[in-house]
Amino acid sequence: DAGVTQSPTHLIKTRGQHVTLRCSPISGHKSVSWYQQVLGQGPQFIFQYYEKEERGRGNFPDRFSARQFPNYSSELNVNALLLGDSALYLCASSLDWTDYGYTFGSGTRLTVV
Amino acid sequence: KQEVTQIPAALSVPEGENLVLNCSFTDSAIYNLQWFRQDPGKGLTSLLLIQSSQREQTSGRLNASLDKSSGRSTLYIAASQPGDSATYLCAVKGETGGFKTIFGAGTRLFVKA
């Protein structure tokens, strides 16, 4: 069985640009969550989606947006990139949005220059 | 607002030692607590998931306990090996605030051969 897949694995962007990160959850999982992890810190919650609806949003600016598709895959979009957006972006898959645990993908390393 | 704290921030032990990593959380209304392992620059690997109704979970040399009332969890690693060197993260999924999963900053473990 395929695990959680994220693409791309690495990305370099220039300040002010836009980026789209993609995530495919484990087959049968209907919830996807996005996290940002800056070097040396724990992951910070960005969004949670379940059945294509947003179920939670962290303390991130409106430059961050996401969506979930009918096949439960998800995209995270970041506009007007700042140097401070450089981080490892992690996608987590779960059966639903309540009491099940998470399975994480390998992440997308975003570098903004 | 849920806050998760992990102590110690870093730990260096000789091979073969038994060790305990600590996690504390401020809001006891939780669905579950999950321990993860993260190797440098990589994604998160789930180690143990403890539901709120459970007191502990075991997998191989790992044992995790949960005391909801006191807001604490411990991860016990028996007979540590150099391959256990990694960052260990504690994550709590709360009932309040939209079922967000909040992470601690992690404990960096180095096991010396």
CB atoms under 10 Å from CB of A98, counted, come to 14
Q: Rounded CA gap, A54 and A58, in Å?
A: 11
| Tokens encoding B68 | 């909801």
Q: Which of A102, A98, A112, A111 lies closest to A35 in space, CA to CA?
A: A102
pLDDT averaged over 10-residue windows placed end to end, chain B, 113 residues: 93 96 94 95 93 95 96 97 97 80 96 96
| Cβ contact B98–A48 (<8 Å) | yes
Per-residue pLDDT, averaged over A28-48, amounts to 94
* Residue A109 Cα distances to A32, B61, B99, angstroms: 18, 31, 26
Interface check A81 vs B, CB under 8 A: no
Q: Rounded CA gap, A57 and A25, in Å?
A: 19
Q: When comparing pLDDT for A73 and B94, which is higher? A: A73
Percentage of residues in chain A having pLDDT higher than 90: 88
Q: Provide the pLDDT for residue A71.
A: 95
| Nearest-CB residue to B49 (from A97, A101, A109) | A101
| Tokens encoding B91 | 């994550």
Nearest CA in chain B to A39: B41
